[in-house]
Amino acid sequence: MRFITDIKTFAALGSGVIGSGWVSRALANGLDVLAWDPAPGAEAALRQRVANAWGALEKQGLAPGASQDRLRFVATIEACVKDADFIQESAPERLELKLELHSKISAAAKPNALIGSSTSGLLPSEFYEGSTHPERCVVGHPFNPVYLLPLVEVVGGKHTAPEAIQAAIQVYESLGMRPLHVRKEVPGFIADRLLEALWREALHLVNDGVATTGEIDDAIRFGAGLRWSFMGTFLTYTLAGGDAGMRHFMAQFGPALQLPWTHLPAPELTDKLIDDVVDGTREQLGNHSISALERYRDDCLLAVLEAVKTTKAKHGMTFAE
């Protein structure tokens, strides 16, 4: 089966926070968009959200022909999907609801139109169980705001064709995104496993009276949050190991995971896990020395600090706010 990758018409089912983000991104990329949502007043709310996002999208740069007028809100699931080249579902996070919705979407869609779900962590093998042509069905998990953040996690289920994963990656790239193929189907995928761990711990801190939510957010936004925009945890910690890199870092700070500071159970630090982490970060380092990456990290930090400061001032805020 050749899946459609040269898309002209994008269908969005569910037009809440995430659905309207997809609609905005698709319109900004010069596509025709069909949207459906069963809630009363959904069309007006969607148009309002798209209008709100449009200023940022104009600053980022619109594709030729991009226009909010190319959005058509329709009355049925069938009208939304039957002529669509690509379909993205962003309905509430309930397994039964998604199961029923996808059986209807897939029955009415062109057989070679890819179908993506925005789910934050439900398993595609489960909610695509009743779908027609499930080989074209994937998860495309985005991040809020969908029209600006590039990451989209692409996850297949037990019936998804490998070619469909590649085709979906191609489509998401054509929408200016940075797809990440999650190779193993697990609840929460990669990013939400991490975000949930952080969030759960933050709730423990509040619950234990250690910090307020504002203090916890300060702990993120004035520290690791600034460096996360350009360097992930593994490479950051490799640099934190100095010239000896990740192996020294693991020896020095790995045992503290067993104390534990957190309320989450820690993984057992087996030799295999350490080797996997060391080998993985070695690959990430490539030919770059630790000191070269430190210069890169510092340059990026300065640029981000300057950008945040300038942007906040434009909005009438001080840097400390």
Ligand X SMILES: C[N+](C)(C)CC(=O)CC(=O)[O-]
Site string for ligand X, 122-151 (x = CB under 6 A): ---------------------xx-------
Contact map string, positions 88 to 127, toward ligand X, x by CB under 6 A? --------------------------------x-------
Which residue in 106, 120, 131, 238 binds ligand NAI (CB under 6 A)? Answer: 120
Estimate the share of the chain in helix, then strand, then coil, as percent rounded to the nearest 5.
Answer: 55, 10, 35
- Contact between 24 and ligand X by CB under 6 A: the answer reads no
Query: What is the distance between the alpha carbons of residues 54 and 93, in angstroms, rounded to a whole number?
Result: 27
145 binds ligand NAI (CB under 6 A): no
Considering CB distances under 5 to 8 angstroms, the limit depending on partner class, which of ligand NAI, ligand X, none binds residue 145?
A: none
188 is in an annotated binding site: no
Which of 7, 9, 12, 19 contacts ligand NAI by CB under 6 A?
Answer: 19
Spatial distance between the Cα atoms of 114 and 168, rounded to a whole number of angstroms: 7
Dist. CA 320–CA 179, nearest whole Å: 33
97 binds ligand NAI (CB under 6 A): yes
Q: Is 201 in the site for ligand X (CB under 6 A)?
A: no
Out of ligand X, ligand NAI, none, what residue 195 binds, judged by CB under 5 to 8 A for its kind, is: ligand X
- Least Å from the CB of residue 131 to ligand X: 22
Q: How many residues does the chain have?
A: 321
Question: Which of 149, 226 has the CB closer to ligand X?
Answer: 149
Could you say whether residue 216 binds ligand NAI (CB under 6 A)?
no
Which of ligand X, ligand NAI, none binds 136 (CB below 5-8 Å, type-dependent)?
A: none
Q: How far is the CB of 297 from ligand X (least distance, A)?
A: 24
Taking CA atoms, 265 is separated from 201, 261, 274, 278, in Å, by 11, 10, 17, 22
Quick one: angle between helices 290-314 and 233-240, nearest 10? 120
Cβ-proximal residues to 92 (8 Å cutoff; 6+ apart), any chain: 14
Is 14 marked within a binding site? Answer: yes
CB 57 within 8 A of CB 31: no
In angstroms, what CA-CA distances link 193 with 95, 207, 255? Answer: 19, 21, 22
Q: Which does 156 bind (CB under 5 to 8 A by kind): ligand NAI, ligand X, none?
A: none
AA letter at 26 = A
CA separation for the pair 250, 275 (Å, rounded): 10
| Residue 209 among known ligand-binding residues | no
DSSP code, position 132: S
Strands 178-182, 114-117: pairing kind: unpaired
Sequence-ordered strand ranges (E) for the chain = 9-13, 32-36, 71-73, 86-89, 114-117, 137-141, 151-156, 178-182
Q: Segment contacting ligand NAI (CB under 6 A): 115-123, 217-225, 231-239, 285-293?
A: 115-123
List residues near ligand NAI by CB under 6 A.
Answer: 13-19, 37-39, 42, 90-93, 97, 101, 118-120, 141-142, 144
Q: Which residues contact ligand X (rule: CB under 6 A)?
A: 120, 143-144, 192, 195
Annotated binding site for NAD(+): 14-19
